[in-house]
Structure 1
Amino acid sequence: MDRLASIAVFVKVADKGSFAAAAAELDMSAQMVGKHVAELEARLSGRLINRTTRRQNLTELGRAYYQQCRIIIAEVEAADALAEDISVEPRGRLRINAPVTFGSACIAPLLVRYAERFPAVEIDLILGDRKVDLIEEGFDAVVRVGELPDSSLIARPLAPYRLTICAAPAYVRTHGRPSDPQALAEHQCIVYLGSSESSNRTWRFTRDGRTEEVTVHGQIRMNDSRAMLHAVEAGSGIVMGAEVLLDPYLADGRLEQLLPEWQAPSWPMHVLYAPDRRPTAKLRAFLDMLVAAFPRP
């Protein structure tokens, strides 16, 4: 007899509690069910089920074997479903959460392409810097910047979230270019007004293993990265912001990078999702697009 078929029969007997109930569920005779179980017991040289006239009870070996067999059956079912699942068009509602800056600059354009490719998926993109509960708030995936706490969620690494420092050419012509991090204390700097103003006013740089910190000041403070981008583009000061947001402005000359020999901070970035045995087609398609667009070096 096929061992996998016998394992499936044994699991059904354990679930249903009797050979007769398993036989009815499997559409086979009770005698055939008994033969499958007997085949396994012969192979294991031990009894799996104590048989009585009314009910069958698992032995100690049977209980341990049953737990392993359930895992085997689940893995086989998942493997069998792969071909079907790959061919299934992603559909349903996809709910994504991401930080405001990265989400608006990078996730939103990616989801536009996703929507064009998979028209049967409805997409909710919720942006915010609050740490959401993926399970309780019903998100399919969340993007997190920074070190991850211990969690049961699955985390796939993305490209690091890097910062860079820049200013408009008009500002550089008027106020000059800082020669080192400490010189920033004498410049107008546009400060991010977040939960901790003191830490956001302390800018950190590294070079050749050496770290320098400087406390910056400025007339303008804001709590939104895109608002800060408008201010720096207008020549109001120097900004330290996300590369993903500033790179297009640096590429076409609207902004100039400052202190290129010094490295601004960067943080790890991940996309997290629930540890389901088999992610849905809509989620897998999103994860594949995101990881391809922002691969970890």
Structure 2
Amino acid sequence: MWSWNAPCQAAQVLGISAPMASKHVAQLEKSLGARLLHRSSRHLSLTEAGTAWYEQSARALDLLDAAESAIGSRDTTPRGQLKVSAPVWCATPRIARVLADYRAQCPEVVVDMHLANRKVDLAADGYDLALRATQEPS
């Protein structure tokens, strides 16, 4: 919140109201057992405890960002193989369009589609997904 120099700016960035931002600060102060801000009708400034908390928190967030970058967790691009079992009647132009759309959105995923009118054991046969339909009640 302090990075924005005003509770209303912080609230806007966080998508909450200014009173809600103030409530969160009050809850944080209560849980820490320390006053973080000097408040007046025209001015807001950090207390000594607030400055220490802000600096340490900023360092902690920087370390978390560095850790995420180091392991590449920010790259959430789907990739790999998707092994799918489906009955033969799924070999339709509509399913082909769905698969083409999926491949356009996820070009690094190889879809391995197996069409057969038999049930498969997902785990034993190494399938990720099986499409099945029945007229029987479940």
Q: What TM bracket, shorter-length normalisation?
A: 0.3 to 0.5
Higher strand share: 1
Higher helix share: 2
